[in-house]
Structure 1
């Protein structure tokens, strides 16, 4: 299991400080795996107990076991970078960016998304992974500038609770890389039966989520890393697709004001 998978699995237990520490560790992995708990706490500007509690929330007996896991993660990632380096050339990322822009420009249904945003009483948004959730949070922050407040649903359990209250006057974004629903399918179908407008945001291609959605927004991801199931460029093109949606809605709002 990767660190990102661990974070996704235990996300409901994590608070804002935990998210900050995990972000610090992710950005400084090489340094973190060499540090004691006190050294890491000092670098991250938190207490030793904060880090120890965090490791236990993630299912480790203590910091020592967590650090051993991080070392394995670091070695695995280094090997992956070497093995997959030919897949992450700038030209491939550029192609993904260009295709994502073209997908957006050619999408005639994007006007339907703008209209759904405009007339919805409430807007909810759910992401299936930690990285996707970060991109979704940034999109929501941008929409605040337009006076539109998106309610980010943090976990599947919360989405299940919302499914009891959501109505046909509401809108739900579901952001995913693969578009696979697995245990989410029953919840999504229940929401759909209530007449709630469902917008999927996934990599380009046929997938279960897009087939159930009223409208789909796509982004391009050329290669998927078989080790962790991700492509390092996927967050870039997802962020681009959501940024294009924000800019497009900004123009739509101006034209209809």
Structure 2
């Protein structure tokens, strides 16, 4: 039995927090086996005791047994050719679930009430999502100011105030320049919305508001260190947030 099938089998025992933790574990199955219980619990925002309770809900004696099951699942999956269309559907469905679990009212209220709203994306895919956000909100008479690069982000941080709002979209949430900028953002008490994949990262851990999406890296190349990240679920988050804004602030 695959891990996903096991979760479905015992889904009636699982809380939303359990599902959030399992979502992170599933996306990082390849590295879970190399981490100890404390490292894993920090990674999924719970405690070692919480991991044990979660494992028992899945009918294991403890988390060590669950971890061994995960390791075997990873080994078995290496022999199975991935279905990339199925991966896309799963990522989109998981992202919709994450959006539905998020209380979006405070986010759209912050957007509506802010004097100025800025949007910064760290890379190509993130900038596309930023442009989509700006385009959608422009149609609703709520202009969002696109920040084209890190240099311009530094300019904005000189003048931004606690009455403004900043979107930061990042794949890793660990960009070195970005982490430095977060210190200035916190010092100025500027509220910001982070949009990242569902993971434990510096950007989301200190954000005022968080939005997450599900993302599965595609193993296209055998060259070590080569990543192929695709951003359809991220753009789904941008679209869904705007639609919720429209539902909340109907013209």
Q: TM-score, normalised by structure 2?
A: 0.63
Match of 1:171 in 2: 165
Relative to structure 1, is the Cα distance of residues 90 and 196 closer, same or farther in structure 2, using a 3 angstrom cutoff? same
Match of 1:82 in 2: none
In 2, distance between residues paired with 1:88 and 1:231?
Answer: 16
Relative to structure 1, is the Cα distance of residues 203 and 154 closer, same or farther in structure 2, using a 3 angstrom cutoff? same
2:205 to 204, 211, 215: 211
Match of 1:133 in 2: 127
Q: Within the alignment, does 1:96 sit opposite 2:91 as a pair?
A: yes
Q: Deviations over 1:180-211 (max 9, x none)?
A: 13122121220222121110000011111001
Structure 1 residue 230: Cα displacement? 3.3
- Quick check: 1:179–1:202 contact (8 Å CA) kept in 2? yes
In 1, distance between residues paired with 2:157 and 2:83?
Answer: 39
Q: TM-score, normalised by structure 1?
A: 0.62
Q: Deviations over 1:30-53 (max 9, x none)?
A: xxxxxxxxxxxxxxxxxxxxxxxx
Match of 2:245 in 1: 249
Unaligned 5+ runs, structure 1? 1-84
Q: Within the alignment, does 1:202 sit opposite 2:196 as a pair?
A: yes
Match of 2:179 in 1: 185
Written as runs of structure 1 = structure 2, the 5 A alignment for 1:3-152 is 86-87=81-82, 89-108=84-103, 110-152=104-146
Relative to structure 1, is the Cα distance of residues 105 and 208 closer, same or farther in structure 2, using a 3 angstrom cutoff? same
* Greater helix fraction, Structure 1 or Structure 2: 1
Structure 1 residue 87: Cα displacement? 4.3
Structure 1 residue 224: Cα displacement? 5.4
2:233 to 217, 223, 237: 237
- Quick check: 2:217–2:227 contact (8 Å CA) kept in 1? no
* Greater mean deviation of Cα atoms: 181-190 or 119-128: 181-190
Structure 1 residue 135: Cα displacement? 1.9
* Greater mean deviation of Cα atoms: 118-127 or 187-196: 187-196
Runs of 4+ in 1 over 4 A off after TM superposition: 85-88, 224-227
Q: For the aligned residues, what is the CA RMSD?
A: 1.9
Structure 1 residue 86: Cα displacement? 4.2
